[in-house]
Amino acid sequence: MSANGGDPLLELEDVHVFYGAIHALKGVSLRVDPGQIVTLIGANGAGKSTTLRTISGLLRPRNGSLRFEGKDIVRASSQRIVRLGIAQAPEGRQLFSRMTVLENLEMGAFQRRDRSEITSDLERVYELFPRLAERRTQKAGTLSGGEQQMCAIGRALLARPRLLMLDEPSMGLSPNLVDRIFEVISDINQQGTTILLVEQNAARALEVAHRGYVLETGRVTLADDATALRSNERVRASYLGEA
């Protein structure tokens, strides 16, 4: 059961994942409650992206359980996981560089059957990211890094997810664009989308999140409300750059 008395939207319990002989996730347990922003913070190689790839069905756990809305998704294909309501904007954006912005966005909706609703969702993305509306006929490969990040988030939103996973959305962006991306993350959440956020910028992630988990070498070493984590001495020293 979740802290607010309801059932979690997503729950991982004692998940172990291997890359060959490398034990990448060593018993990770976490939950994401409906309507929350939950963030995973930790150093490079801690297992944050591996956790997202496991939830997406791109990696299979050797042990442990994954449940989304109470359904076991351990053996679900990545396509089925998208259909169930989980979408990801991956690290490095991974856009189709020779396709236009609009074509990339439409790829996010390729499994949807409610064609009439896609137009309104596209307009919602353009409201969140007016730059994408201006660039809709431009090849994605010619966009700036910030515009590509907007396009990657927009593409994930076109899947109309109940859980949106964001992997390092501020990586490589200018401070002004970082501010804008975090504003949009809050806006998306306030419009009703639950978010699981992996972010190297722990200070900014904990500002927008409700809860957070600290991963270290494939293990969850701390889990708490974001406010409590921001004031935790170990988190402040290790991840927020404060002595």
Q: List, for residues 103-117, the tens digit of each pLDDT value.
A: 999 988 887 778 778
Domain that holds residue 40: 1-85+165-170+196-243
Q: Is 64 helix (H, G, I), strand (E, B) or coil?
A: strand
Report pTM. Answer: 0.90
Q: What is d(CA 72, CA 9) in angstroms, rounded to the nearest whole number?
A: 12
CB 132 within 8 A of CB 57: no
Is residue 53 domain-resident? Answer: yes
Compute the residue count for the chain. 243
What's the CATH number where 18 sits? 3.40.50.300
pLDDT single digits (tens) 66-76: 999 999 999 99
Helix and strand element counts for the chain (H, E): 10, 10
Check residue 241 and give its pLDDT.
Answer: 77
In-domain check, residue 13: yes
Indicate whether 229 belongs to any domain.
yes
